[in-house]
Structure 1
Amino acid sequence: MTLAAHSASGPVDLLLSRLEGVRASGRGWIARCPAHADRSASLSLAEGRDGRALVKCFAGCEVSDVLRAVGLELADLFPQRIADASPAGRAEAREAWRQSGWAAALGVLGREASVVLIAARMLADGHALKPGDQARLLVAVERIEGAREVLA
């Protein structure tokens, strides 16, 4: 497993240390999701501004299932309790969570759009897609649909 350099150790380090196929991607990482039979990286991870681990499986796995598969709990995603429990503080935390999902979704859209573009160029050049390429294209379509749901 290759880990990219990132900020001080914390929840992200703990989670990354338990995953396979980790590689840097944009401002975060992608890895094979431990909650399903993942052949290619569909799990997106990032570190929030407050140090929390942000996790999204674009194949549709729930975060709790991902964590359970590596022996962690939801509380392990946070470095400490949110200090500001006021309505404004909680609204700010919700907005940060939503924006982190957008960032992860945009990263997935960028990667998967490349797969679609390659397939389209092959087809435009008169080449048939091999079964493995067709399967990867379907994965890209599923991940793009998942990202669109996050952005909606």
Structure 2
Amino acid sequence: MGIGQGRMMTVSHSAIGPAGVLLARLEGVRNSGRGWVARCPAHTDRSASLSVAEGRDGRALVKCFAGCEVLAILHALGLELADLFPQRIADASPEGRAASREAWRQSGWAAALGVLSREASVVLVAARALADGHPLESEDHARLLVAVERIEGAREVLA
């Protein structure tokens, strides 16, 4: 029995990932774009109204175009919200924990640098307007204040 041909097949996370676990329990699965469509198990579905895709981080992305809630879909399949996410790989050794802390710190730096880049653009636009003698409108002034707050937050991450 292949994916989507049967229902309630037992498949481990490590073998095929969260999207595969979900797809193995659905009916009427077929490829569609970058993902799949299937009949939604949370309502009487004659056509494929459920979209399933895999996110960049390995999580299963689920959307019923008839409006069913994700939790209702998972409940109908005997799954939980945690089943949509890949299992964490944790190295409990001191070296593994140190490497995880360093990776976390560097991801914070990358995010802070992204914030600095975007918010510096806002400050630059406002500075040019002011330098050209154009006063900032209230919305622009409010956005400039948000940019300043975000730059301060990024600075704290990088310090």
Instruction: State TM-score, norm by structure 1.
Output: 0.51
Give the one of 109, 113, 124 matched to 1:117: 124
The 3 A distance-change label for structure 1 pair 99 and 113 is same
Identity %: 75
Map 1:101-140 onto structure 2 (within 5 A): 101-140=108-147
Residue deviations 1:45-82 (CA, integer Å, cap 9, x gap) = xxxxxxxxxxxxxxxxxxxxxxxxxxxx9x89x73243
Give the one of 56, 70, 74 matched to 1:7: 56
Distance 2:127 2:153 in 1: 21
- Other-structure match for 2:149: 142
**Larger relative CO (CA 8 A, sep 6+): 1 or 2?**
1
Distance 1:101 1:146 in 2: 11
The 3 A distance-change label for structure 1 pair 8 and 150 is closer
- Misfit runs of 4+, over 6 Å: none
Tell me the CA shift for residue 84 of structure 1.
1.4
Bigger-Rg structure (1/2): 2
Residue deviations 1:15-73 (CA, integer Å, cap 9, x gap) = xx8xxxxxxxxxxxxxxxxxxxxxxxxxxxxxxxxxxxxxxxxxxxxxxxxxxxxxxx9
Distance 1:137 1:150 in 2: 20
Tell me the CA shift for residue 10 of structure 1.
1.4
Q: Which runs of 5+ in 1 are unaligned?
A: 18-72
Residue deviations 1:83-117 (CA, integer Å, cap 9, x gap) = 31100000000000000000000000000000000
Distance 2:99 2:57 in 1: 23
**Aligned-pair Cα RMSD in Å:** 2.9
Give the one of 49, 71, 86 matched to 1:79: 86
Tell me the CA shift for residue 134 of structure 1.
0.3
Aligned length: 89
The 3 A distance-change label for structure 1 pair 93 and 8 is closer
Distance 2:157 2:137 in 1: 31
The 3 A distance-change label for structure 1 pair 145 and 103 is same
Q: Which runs of 5+ in 2 are unaligned?
A: 1-53, 64-80
Distance 1:6 1:81 in 2: 15
